[in-house]
Amino acid sequence: MANIILLGPPGAGKGTQAKRLVEGRGMVQLSTGDMLREAKTSGSEMGRKVAAVMARGELVTDEIVIGLIQEKLTGHAGGGFIFDGFPRTLAQADALGALLAEMGQSLDAVIEMKVDDAALVARITGRYTCGGCGAVYHDQARPTKVTDVCDECDSTNMVRRADDTEDALRTRLLEYYKKTSPLIGYYHAKGALTSVDGLAEVAVVAAAISKALGAAP
Ligand code: ADP
Ligand code: AMP
């Protein structure tokens, strides 16, 4: 099955689209942000180490996130991975290339999701997720049908992220433009990049991603 990267700034809609691909195509979402938040909640030593860095909106070290991805890839030989929020640096991109090559897997598409900064602020400050199943909502753009009840799993545990504030978002955007946006050129040069308009409606973005995946299984 195809392996893809969803590349874009915080709030671009990577998680929202990844969940549709999991449901629609049976792909496997690998979100380093989710993995790090799980580590934080579990109270592990690594979780405690990264908590303050994440709260400030800075990037966690390459060593930690590459280790997390490596762990998840082991035992999933079939592929069909959606890399969501990874890689975020050139070192991470190189490590991913090497890990996939070791498994005999390829990277089939890198989807750049373009959204301007003003829209990102509105998206991030209105975001909430279901603590039960991870479904992603937005106060205005995608509210739950019944207030604070998940459309997907009926959980009433709605969660807002500690780093979804305007202050932390400023740092997260700086980190994105400084360290992650060079990956756009990197994957363009490799002939793997497709850019989609992330400002369009969720279903329209999903259709553009499907088109980029083409006949990929
Ligand atoms: P990311 O994973 O890239 O940080 P999310 O998928 O969590 O982004 O989306 C951020 C916020 O924007 C969420 O509240 C989500 O409901 C909303 N959102 C996602 N895609 C769209 C879209 N195409 N149009 C409007 N709002 C969207
Ligand atoms: P996300 O859920 O993708 O918005 O990530 C939330 C936070 O987790 C980021 O602001 C970083 O602090 C950290 N993080 C997630 N993925 C990575 C990564 N690939 N490299 C470094 N830090 C990451």
Q: Which ligand is closest to the CA of 83, given by its number?
A: 2
pLDDT one-digit tens code per residue, 83-106: 999 999 999 999 999 999 999 999
Residues of the chain falling short of pLDDT 50 = 217
Give the pLDDT of residue 175: 98
Which 8-state DSSP code applies to residue 149?
B
Does the CB atom of residue 201 touch ligand 1 within 6 A? yes
Mutate to test the pocket of ligand 2, among 38, 46, 59, 160 (most ligand atoms within 8 A of CB): 59
- CA 40 / ligand 2 centre spacing (Å): 12
CA distance 164 to 123: 9
Total-model pTM: 0.96
78-117 exposure pattern, b = at least 16 Cβ within 10 A, e = fewer: ebbbbbbbbbbbeebbebbeeebeebebebbbbbbbebee
Active site residues: 14, 88, 127, 161, 172
Nearest protein CA to atom 5 of ligand 2, as residue: 33
Q: Which atom of ligand 2 is nearest to the CA of 85?
A: 3
Rounded Cα–Cα distance for residues 184 and 168 (Å):
23
Summarize pLDDT for 147-176 with one digit per residue, the tens.
999 999 999 999 999 999 999 999 999 999
Judge contact between 59 and 175, C-beta under 8 A. Answer: yes
Q: Which of these, 173, 184, 49, lies nearest to 68 by C-alpha position?
A: 49
- SS3 (DSSP) at 16: helix
Tokens of 121: 């602020």
